[in-house]
């Protein structure tokens, strides 16, 4: 059997209750299809509740409670959004420390929609370039980050996207980022050497330099995505994301039309 891109990679997916279901299940499916092992981690053991926009979705088995999860056991971190999930998770000190450990160890982190709130509350966004659901832009800028309205942004060991419409691009960028772990043999290699290695703020490290965004295609966004134009709040409208089992694509707006990739802002 041919080796997959992420064979053997262990990915922590950190959520609280009320996460946006498709923002967990879509990336999780993409990761597992690429060969990764995924572990759903939550503040409490047992089960965790998903949401489909404003409606309750499914419940999911928690693989490991946060208090029992050691960042050293994982190669990468994925943070789904959902406003209630993200707003609660950002206030959990153990979740903040969990995220800090991944970033300090130069491990790759993929973050979607409202989930950058945890990075803000963890003190990690100063000097970084990222995107998010558009209502977070003031929080990110006030914390020293550079916010851009793009469907996906790669900044060193981070990949960020805005909303469920961006999932196809987000999943591609996440898998490409995470695959660098396997290609280079260690999680720390994404941002330079681990303990005793060069600092991620060192411009000599690939992806390093404070606030440096990967200038892929001259745009600072992921390859082939530079044509994505900034949206505006007037384009904000209702959408139905469907059930999480639909994975990363196939979303329809309230009129039944297929959604384009990340052209407008949508609530999660």
Active-site residue set? 113-114
Residues constituting the chain? 268
Residues 136, 133: Cα–Cα separation, whole Å = 6
Residue found under tokens 């996906």: 152
Instruction: For the beta carbon of residue 259, count every other beta carbon within 10 angstroms.
Output: 20
Q: Label residue 121 exposed, middle or buried (CB < 10 Å: 0-12, 13-18, 19+).
A: buried
Residues 114, 134: Cα–Cα separation, whole Å = 9
Residues 108, 116: Cα–Cα separation, whole Å = 14
What is the distance in angstroms between the CA of the first residue and the CA of the last residue of the chain?
A: 38
Backbone angles phi, psi at 188, to 5 degrees: -65, -20
Structure tokens at 123: 């003190």
Residues 221, 184: Cα–Cα separation, whole Å = 22
Report helix, strand or coil for 37.
Answer: strand
209 Cβ neighbours under 8 A, 6+ residues apart: 201, 202, 203
């Amino acid at each position: 059997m041919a080796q997959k891109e992420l064979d053997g990679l262990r990915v922590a997916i950190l959520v609280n209750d009320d996460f946006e279901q498709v923002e967990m299940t879509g990336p999780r499916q993409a990761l597992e299809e690429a060969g990764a092992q995924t572990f759903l981690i939550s503040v409490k053991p047992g089960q965790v509740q998903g949401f489909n926009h404003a409606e309750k979705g499914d419940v999911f088995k928690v693989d490991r409670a946060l208090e029992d999860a050691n960042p050293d056991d994982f190669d990468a971190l994925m943070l789904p959004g959902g406003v209630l999930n993200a707003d609660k998770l950002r206030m959990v000190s153990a979740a903040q420390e969990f995220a800090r450990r991944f970033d300090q160890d130069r491990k790759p982190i993929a973050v979607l929609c409202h989930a950058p709130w945890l990075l803000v509350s963890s003190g990690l966004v100063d000097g970084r370039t990222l995107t998010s659901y558009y209502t977070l832009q003031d929080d990110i800028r006030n914390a020293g980050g550079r916010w851009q309205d793009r469907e996906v942004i790669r900044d060193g060991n981070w990949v960020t996207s805005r909303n469920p419409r961006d999932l196809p691009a987000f999943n591609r960028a996440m898998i490409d980022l995470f695959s660098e772990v396997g290609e280079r043999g260690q999680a720390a290699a994404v941002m330079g050497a681990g303990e005793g290695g060069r600092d991620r703020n060192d411009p000599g490290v690939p992806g390093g330099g404070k606030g440096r965004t990967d200038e892929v295609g001259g745009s600072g966004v992921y390859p082939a995505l530079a044509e994505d134009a900034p949206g505006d709040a007037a384009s904000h409208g209702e959408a139905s994301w469907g059930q999480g089992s639909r994975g990363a694509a196939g979303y329809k707006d309230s009129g039944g039309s297929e959604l384009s990739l990340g052209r407008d802002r949508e609530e999660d």
